[in-house]
Structure 1
Amino acid sequence: MAQLDGTPARHYYAGFNPQRAIAIADLRAMAHKRLPRFALEYLEGGAEDEAAMFREQRAFADWRFMPKTLVDVSRRTLATDILGRSAAMPLVVSPTGLNGILHVHGDSLLAEAALRADVPFVQSTMSNDTMEEVARAAPGVRHWWQLYVFGGDEIWQELLRRADGAGCEALVLTTNAQIFGDREWQRRNQVGKSRLTVLAALESLTHPRWFAENPLSHGLPSFANIIDFVPKDQRSFFAASSWVRANQPTSLSWDTVAKIRQRWKKPFVLKGILCPDDVRRAVDSGVDGVVLSSHGGRQLDWTISPLDLLPVAREIVGDRIALYMSGGVRRGTDLLKACALGADAVWVGRAPLYGLSAAGAAGAARALEILKTEAENAVGLLGVNRVDELGPHLLAHQGRAA
């Protein structure tokens, strides 16, 4: 809208200094410059037609603000409570796996960024640093553990024991990944399940900074938290990932939730809910919260967006359990829209990963700083001072009368 015949020319910042990133889009441009294609496809891609991933972002565009004016907003704050403890803003860093291909020790660096931002960090079962390493790297971080169920019960029971010992304050069970999503563009970079194509491997060599800092110096990462459960002849990077996927039971059920709830005495959250009936079941199951999530659009394609379900889910849960959502957050205004529609906090995955990919801990911290600054400014322009003042009365759905 601000351009005429392509002028003025506009370009995202794609250099090396994360402090020069103005928006998440700049960190994304930096990540695209640094990462090889196969890593970018893992980071960016969705399932099949990528319609669910597209909807995640489009859903935010369907809601428009109705700001109040002539309001004193000189004391505005984003501070809130997350699972009974204070946080600087209603944001949780989502669990993401294979962060070691984006940046060496990516999990620990994300935890450091979360600590600096005063928000919780959720570590994935498929992370590349051990949970104990993360705890040492970011002492004092609100460290949560995300669980994939695979193999026999003794595996998840051992992971829970270790998570408790590492000081993890909450457990997050992912419910919608027992059958691996069809991520076509990611698969096009691989020969079967064992290695990259020759072209993908050669293309990675055209990114010398990434290559020198990652595989050349440290080799391909391993799944350090679960590697001892994997057969010795299948512990390479690609083989181990395939083995875990092949051994995730499709029998995962509410009975599994009950067994885990009985063993884990700290806060317990279910992630991957996209159906009102499942929200109701979750309330009755004894968990402490649910995350509406389509797994970043990487599992079943053509699902609704978590934001689409949010108002209905809030009506169902009331104030009985915590309600979170993830997916598509790229702006501080997205954070405010989700909270106005009923989310207690918003989980962000790709946004801090762009920062991590671009510049390690400093980049991830910059991503969280950008989201916070945007949200702080927008909440003032919206005419409110606190997160608990946000509500659907401040929004209009595009196409509906205000």
Structure 2
Amino acid sequence: MRRFHTGTDLSRVHSIAELADMAQRRLPYFAWEYLNGGAEAELTLQDNLEAFRGYGLHARAMVPCHAPDTSRLVMGQVLPLPMLIGPTGYNGLLHRDADIHLARAATARGLPFTLSTASNTSLEKLVAAAPGVDLWFQLYAMRDPQVQKDLLQRASAVGCRTLVLTCDAMVLGNREWDRRSFARPRQLSWRNKFDVVRHPRWLKQTLWPSGMPGMGNLEPYLPASERNALGSMAFIGKQMDTLLDWDTLARLREHWSGRLLLKGVLHPADVERAIALGLDGVVVSNHGGRQLDGALSSLDALAAIAPQAQGKLSLLLDGGIRRGSDIVKALALGVDAVMLGRSTLYGVAVAGEPGVTRALDLLSEELVRTMNLMGCTHLNHLDRDSLFPRRRVPR
């Protein structure tokens, strides 16, 4: 009878799916739903995964299995692996100081870590707790120009040189199952309150002894009574600049002296606009299937976007990465690197920094094994000829 490991020994965890299973058992339902759910009927959430299954891998024979070269040049920086940890918010619901655990694990592997505007750890605290971190900062455009200016100054002051502007969340997606965890705004249903009590390990690793996590980056701008995860949701809802447009992005390009990427791009025409504005890169992303349900999967969008971007700006992708072979497929279709979201969040929910490290190691080991089995000795040798279409199984 097949079943995943049900103990605590991370060395016996052999896939991201197994880490996800462990995370689901450790988290109360409302926290798991926030982590793993998507918008509405979750069509795009599932398409992100199915798109990778739609490609097979060509294998070449008689190639010696030396250790392949997994390094990748991304915006002038050589990474040991073609991946980095992308921005995710409210991670303190999964584990105390989750952002710090994620940053430390990434730093130990020589990979960048992207801190969200909606993080539970401030820029300043993260840099102090994770020395040497290659910090990227994700920005939500704010209505209040002073708040946005201050966030950018703080990011620059702690040494951040890469800014990632998210453009696909100006209006919050309809995450129905997430909303059903609450009887009213900011108030868990009684069923979910009882479920929380049934998870003492989560209570200890997340809420004890300080209660609900604060909101790090946003705390200076929140009323004292609203300095918590739920209060910050209302703040972001009011502060999100729903009028964000290309002129706003052009002004940001003028004022931010570091590298600037636009995250949430799914159409080739938007890549053309990003190139014209002198952006350093774009992230092909549908926000993990949490925003517009029915939007293209990230991988399907990439097929049309890659030719527009080649040689003009850096191209990254997130959404649906669960295997090292997924990374191979994304690189073969034209990305420079992938941003990890849920894969590393499962790890931090299970065991903090060691859990994130296990997730990164699993993906790294699978990446190397896939390249060996394909007869591929360097990531730069991957292209569309490395893939072939497989028939997708209908839902």
TM range (shorter): over 0.9
Asked if residue 125 in structure 1 is aligned to residue 117 in structure 2, the reply is yes
Kept in 1, the 8 Å contact 2:218–2:232? The answer is: no
Kept in 2, the 8 Å contact 1:45–1:185? The answer is: yes
Give runs of aligned pairs for residues 16-55 of structure 1, distance below 5 A.
16-55=8-47
Asked if residue 304 in structure 1 is aligned to residue 296 in structure 2, the reply is yes
Asked if residue 370 in structure 1 is aligned to residue 362 in structure 2, the reply is yes
What secondary structure sits across from 1:290 in the alignment?
Answer: strand
Q: Distance in 2 between matches of 1:259 and 1:177?
A: 19
2:246 aligned to which of 232, 249, 254? 254
Q: Distance in 2 between matches of 1:222 and 1:150?
A: 20
Asked if residue 210 in structure 1 is aligned to residue 202 in structure 2, the reply is yes
Q: Distance in 1 between matches of 2:189 and 2:230?
A: 12
Q: Distance in 2 between matches of 1:123 and 1:134?
A: 9
Kept in 2, the 8 Å contact 1:128–1:221? The answer is: yes
Give runs of aligned pairs for residues 190-339 of structure 1, distance below 5 A.
190-339=182-331
Superposed CA deviations along residues 79-117 of structure 1, whole A, max 9, x for unmatched, are 112221121110010100000010000001000010112
Give the superposition deviation at 1:399.
4.6
Residue in structure 1 matched with residue 57 of structure 2 by the alignment: 65
Give runs of aligned pairs for residues 57-96 of structure 1, distance below 5 A.
57-96=49-88
Q: Distance in 1 between matches of 2:187 and 2:141?
A: 25
Kept in 1, the 8 Å contact 2:117–2:217? The answer is: yes
Q: Distance in 1 between matches of 2:188 and 2:219?
A: 21
1:189 aligned to which of 172, 181, 186? 181
Kept in 1, the 8 Å contact 2:120–2:214? The answer is: yes
Give the superposition deviation at 1:233.
4.2
Q: Distance in 1 between matches of 2:67 and 2:358?
A: 24
**Which structure 2 segments of 5+ residues have no match?**
none
Q: Distance in 2 between matches of 1:230 and 1:397?
A: 50
Give the superposition deviation at 1:140.
1.2
Residue in structure 2 matched with residue 150 of structure 1 by the alignment: 142
TM-score with structure 2 setting the length = 0.97
Q: Distance in 2 between matches of 1:387 and 1:241?
A: 40
Residue in structure 2 matched with residue 179 of structure 1 by the alignment: 171
Alpha-carbon RMSD: 1.3
TM-score with structure 1 setting the length = 0.95
Kept in 2, the 8 Å contact 1:111–1:141? The answer is: yes
Give the superposition deviation at 1:231.
3.4
Q: Distance in 1 between matches of 2:42 and 2:59?
A: 33
What secondary structure sits across from 2:114 in the alignment?
Answer: strand
Q: Distance in 2 between matches of 1:101 and 1:268?
A: 29
Q: Distance in 1 between matches of 2:269 and 2:137?
A: 26
Kept in 2, the 8 Å contact 1:193–1:242? The answer is: no
- Which sits farther off after the overlay, 347-356 or 232-241? 232-241
Give the superposition deviation at 1:196.
1.1
1:238 aligned partner, one-letter code = L
2:151 aligned to which of 156, 159, 178? 159
Residue in structure 2 matched with residue 3 of structure 1 by the alignment: none
Q: Distance in 2 between matches of 1:368 and 1:102?
A: 18
Q: Distance in 2 between matches of 1:132 and 1:234?
A: 21
Give the superposition deviation at 1:168.
1.2
2:8 aligned partner, one-letter code = F
Residue in structure 2 matched with residue 394 of structure 1 by the alignment: 386
Kept in 2, the 8 Å contact 1:18–1:358? The answer is: no
Give the superposition deviation at 1:239.
2.2
Q: Distance in 2 between matches of 1:235 and 1:219?
A: 12
Paired residues, what number? 392
Residue in structure 2 matched with residue 5 of structure 1 by the alignment: none
Give the superposition deviation at 1:139.
1.2
1:321 aligned partner, one-letter code = L
